[in-house]
């Protein structure tokens, strides 16, 4: 008995005959391949479970504990239910003789959700014209939270005779709009873009003032966020931050690049 355990069992004549049988060999080979296939499939499923789960969640909009693609929205509270109707309108300087109007007249977005819309500009003149645009947001309380990622405003636009140009606006509403008591009842926001002929030098001063307003709004938002880091802001504190005086020197010293890339 001990010799059998030590040296192993010798194959019997029956087992030797089976091993030499081609049909038996083929059956054993198929069984081996079948088992290897099962083990490989199990390993592949275990290894691919995480990436497949991430793809599934991203496709169907589930949370899945994934990092958000919109990095500017990290750490911000979003109202996922309320949608804002953003209306786009246009006005044109009669001297410019352009066609200028929005391609999309209205979009509906959540706070923090990015959107892309276009304006169409067409030069009806028989000579090149340089135009210059500004914009306004109504109601004015919502202008603080209207943020542009890409826009054609404050830039000179050259159009040759009978040339058409599609001008993009890539924007979003800052998530803090949902927490502002003044904006609680706002459900519709109107954006009006105006084009002027660039020969009017007074527009350069207007553009400078508009740019200052944009930078001032960013400074206010930065102060709101800094205050939120230390705790919840009540209505009086929010009013105080929004109504605080900001000098031109502070606006000039404001690091707008750091704000846009935080």
- Please give the pLDDT value at position 248: 82
Kindly report whether the global pTM for this prediction surpasses the value 0.85: no
- The per-residue pLDDT for range 198-236, each reduced to its tens digit, is 765 454 466 667 778 888 888 889 888 888 888 888 888
Q: What is the mean pLDDT of each run of 10 residues along the chain (262 residues)?
A: 48 57 70 75 68 58 48 55 93 87 95 94 86 90 93 84 92 92 92 82 60 85 87 86 86 72 61
- Please give the pLDDT value at position 82: 87
Distances (CA, A) of 191 to 35, 41, 69, 211, 237: 66, 56, 27, 16, 28
Preceding omega of 139 cis (within 30 degrees of 0)? yes
- Please give the pLDDT value at position 86: 97
- Please give the pLDDT value at position 174: 93
Contacts of residue 101, Cβ cutoff 8 Å, sequence gap at least 6: 90, 119, 120
At 172 the three-state DSSP class reads strand
Identify any residues that bridge with 109 across adjacent strands, giving them in sequence order: 84
Is residue 203 within 8 Å of 132, Cβ to Cβ? yes
């Amino acid at each position: 008995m001990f010799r059998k355990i030590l040296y192993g069992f010798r194959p019997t004549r029956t087992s030797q005959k089976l091993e030499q049988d081609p049909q038996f060999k083929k059956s054993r080979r198929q069984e081996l391949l079948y088992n290897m296939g099962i083990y490989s499939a199990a390993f592949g499923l275990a290894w691919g479970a995480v990436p497949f789960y991430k793809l599934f969640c991203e496709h169907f909009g589930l949370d899945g504990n994934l990092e958000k693609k919109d990095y500017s929205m990290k750490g911000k509270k979003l109202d996922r239910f309320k949608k804002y109707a953003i209306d786009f309108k246009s006005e044109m300087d009669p001297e410019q003789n352009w066609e200028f109007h929005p391609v999309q007249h209205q979009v509906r977005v959540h706070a923090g959700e990015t959107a892309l819309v276009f304006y169409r500009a067409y030069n009806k003149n028989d000579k090149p014209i340089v135009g210059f645009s500004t914009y306004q947001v109504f109601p004015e309380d919502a202008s603080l939270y209207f943020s542009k990622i890409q826009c054609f405003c404050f830039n000179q636009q050259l159009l040759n005779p009978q040339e058409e140009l599609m001008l993009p606006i890539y924007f979003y509403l800052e998530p803090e709009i949902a927490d502002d008591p003044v904006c609680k009842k706002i459900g519709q926001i109107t954006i009006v873009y105006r084009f002027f002929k660039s020969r009017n030098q007074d527009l350069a001063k207007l553009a400078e003032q508009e740019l200052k307003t944009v930078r001032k709004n960013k400074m206010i938002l930065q102060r709101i966020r800094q205050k939120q880091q230390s705790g919840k802001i009540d209505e009086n504190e929010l009013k105080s931050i929004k109504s605080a005086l900001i000098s031109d020197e502070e606006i000039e010293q404001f690091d707008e690049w750091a704000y846009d890339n935080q």
